[in-house]
């Protein structure tokens, strides 16, 4: 059988650029080589696209950007091209691919933008389409969709940062007090990796937290702080998604699971399985599958929850391109269910080819 060509997209204009490089490096190394050839497309932090042909070990640290072994390239929306257009020294050339795996986290990659381009291109691609990606990226929209479906989440309110003037802030503070009470979490509505997120213990700290969030997004979310466990569920599939048998638990080493704790300090712990009654874990799996279906997700998503008092389940967020290093929660949960990292990647690519509903729409 002829090998399929998979374009792996990495980097991106996002606060999670570095994380994406590390995820993509392990995806590239572990995609089964007997079935797939890989085309590497790196996107710089300022949004330049390149076809990269150098060694893979220059990807995670970002050295690939200084390599000579690259040429400007872009994914072409023109369906007759069926892949990449590269600007080689001897002129433009097309590089057809069979499938695209966007290993991009956060804005301009996980938020529906790249997915829109992929839908236009008509190419099969791994993961959610434009709408589900965009809905899951915006935490305020996710909350309202969950509420419509009767899926519990933390109490919240949101506002545009431009409303947080001296007069506006007073009104917002009244609402925060009346509807949520302190402590609260203040977040940019559409960032990831905890960037711009603060835990606010009292009203005097709110202004600074809003300013931090506003640096990331013009839409600000305030949520009641949920005291309890933080657990994550790995969902895989298209129209009939299945959650991995084990639910995972994060035990943060910091005040909350912030950027350093996620990627730098190495001190946070993962418990697989989570310390939960099996009935609660089963309910979490069932809610995760329901949310995945209801929001129109495809391929994969990591669905994150809080559990209060060991039993009250609140959905926190869906990550439509979850962290994907071998030590990341998503692949680890599948491994605990007997699906190896390489097999998981193969299933994701096969799901992309199977997903007729997402692609080739006329
Ligand atoms: N309402 C909340 N209650 C308690 N902890 C929270 C709440 N919201 C966020 N956190 C903490 O902040 C971390 C990051 O928030 P999250 O909403 O998951 O954003 P991100 O998309 O950046 O991962 C969570 O993993 C959790 O530790
Ligand atoms: Mg999160």
Taking only the tens place, the pLDDT of each residue in 311-348 is 999 999 999 999 998 889 999 999 999 999 999 999 99
- Please name the residue whose Cα sits nearest to atom 16 of ligand 1: 194
Cα-trace Rg, the chain? 21
Cα(114)–Cα(161) distance, integer angstroms? 26
Query: How close is the Cα of 319 to the center of ligand 2, in Å?
Result: 7
**Residue 62 tokens, joined:** 């970002």
The atom number, within ligand 1, closest to the CA of 195 reads: 22
Question: How much of the chain, in percent, has pLDDT values that exceed 90?
Answer: 90
Cα(110)–Cα(313) distance, integer angstroms? 25
Q: In which band, very low, low, confident or very high, does the pLDDT at 362 lie, cut at 50, 70 and 90?
A: very low
Instruction: Express each pLDDT in 35-86 by its tens digit.
Output: 999 999 999 999 999 999 999 999 999 999 999 999 999 999 999 999 999 9
Cα(151)–Cα(225) distance, integer angstroms? 18
The atom number, within ligand 1, closest to the CA of 319 reads: 21
Mean pLDDT of 143-168: 97
Q: What is the pLDDT of residue 264?
A: 72
Q: From the CB of 196, is ligand 1 less than 6 Å away? A: no
Q: Is 315 helix (H, G, I), strand (E, B) or coil?
A: strand
22, 324 in Cβ contact below 8 A?
A: no
Helix (H), strand (E) at residue 120: helix 113-121
179, 171 in Cβ contact below 8 A?
A: no
183, 225 in Cβ contact below 8 A?
A: yes
Q: What is the pLDDT of residue 193?
A: 77
Is residue 146 over pLDDT 60? yes
Q: From the CB of 316, is ligand 1 less than 6 Å away? A: yes
Residue for token pair 């035990």: 251
Q: What is the pLDDT of residue 359?
A: 52
* Ramachandran class of 49: left when φ > 0, alpha when ψ lies in -120 to 50, beta otherwise: beta
CB-based contacts of 96: which residues, under 8 Å, 6+ apart?
Answer: 5, 81, 82, 83, 84
Instruction: Express each pLDDT in 74-85 by its tens digit.
Output: 999 999 999 999
CA angle 181, 182, 188 (to 5 degrees): 100
Q: From the CB of 225, is ligand 1 less than 6 Å away? A: yes
Q: What is the pLDDT of residue 91?
A: 96
Instruction: Express each pLDDT in 171-217 by its tens digit.
Output: 999 999 999 999 999 999 997 778 899 999 999 999 999 999 999 99
CA distances from 99 to 39, 89, 127 (A): 10, 26, 11
**Residue 146 tokens, joined:** 């969950």
Q: What is the pLDDT of residue 356?
A: 60
Mean pLDDT of 269-286: 96
CA distances from 340 to 193, 326, 327, 344 (A): 25, 10, 12, 6
| Domains of the chain with bracketed CATH | 4-125 (3.40.50.20), 135-152+227-354 (3.30.470.20), 156-224 (3.30.1490.20)
* Ramachandran class of 150: left when φ > 0, alpha when ψ lies in -120 to 50, beta otherwise: left
Task: Identify the nearest ligand to the CA of 231 by its number.
Answer: 1
To the nearest 10 degrees (0 to 180), the angle between helices 341-354 and 329-336 is 100
* pTM for this predicted structure: 0.96
Q: From the CB of 101, is ligand 1 less than 6 Å away? A: no
Q: Average model confidence (pLDDT) for the chain? A: 94
Q: From the CB of 59, is ligand 1 less than 6 Å away? A: no
């Amino acid at each position: 059988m002829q090998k399929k060509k998979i374009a792996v997209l990495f980097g991106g204009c996002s606060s999670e650029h570095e994380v994406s490089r590390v995820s993509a490096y392990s995806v590239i190394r572990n995609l089964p080589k007997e079935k797939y050839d890989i085309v590497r497309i790196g996107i710089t932090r300022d949004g330049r696209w390149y076809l990269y042909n150098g060694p893979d070990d220059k990807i995670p640290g970002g050295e690939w950007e200084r390599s000579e072994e690259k040429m400007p390239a872009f994914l072409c929306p023109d369906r007759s091209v069926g892949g990449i257009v590269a600007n080689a020294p001897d002129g433009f050339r097309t590089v057809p691919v069979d499938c695209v795996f966007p290993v991009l986290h956060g804005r301009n990659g996980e938020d529906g933008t790249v997915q829109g381009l992929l839908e236009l291109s008509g190419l099969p691609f791994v993961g959610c389409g434009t709408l589900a990606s965009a809905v899951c990226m915006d935490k305020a929209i996710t909350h309202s969709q969950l509420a419509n479906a009767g899926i519990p989440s933390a109490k919240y309110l949101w506002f545009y940062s431009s409303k947080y003037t001296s007069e506006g802030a007073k009104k917002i503070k009244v609402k925060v007090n009346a509807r949520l009470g302190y402590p609260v979490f203040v977040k940019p509505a559409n960032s990831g990796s905890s960037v711009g997120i603060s835990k606010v213990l009292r009203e005097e700290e709110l202004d600074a937290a809003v300013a931090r969030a506003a640096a990331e997004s013009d839409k600000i979310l305030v949520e009641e702080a949920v005291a309890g466990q933080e657990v994550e569920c790995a969902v895989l599939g298209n129209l009939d998604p299945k959650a991995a048998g084990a639910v995972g638990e994060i035990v943060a080493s910091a005040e909350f699971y912030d950027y350093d704790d996620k990627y730098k300090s190495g001190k946070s712990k993962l418990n697989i399985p989570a310390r939960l009654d099996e009935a609660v874990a089963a309910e979490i799996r069932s809610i995760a599958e329901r949310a995945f279906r209801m929001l129109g997700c495809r391929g994969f998503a990591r669905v994150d929850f809080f559990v209060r008092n060991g039993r009250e389940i609140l959905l926190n967020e869906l990550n439509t391109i979850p962290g994907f290093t071998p030590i990341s929660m998503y692949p680890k949960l599948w491994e605990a269910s007997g699906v190896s990292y390489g097999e998981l990647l193969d299933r994701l690519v096969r799901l992309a080819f199977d997903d007729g509903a997402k692609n080739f729409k006329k």
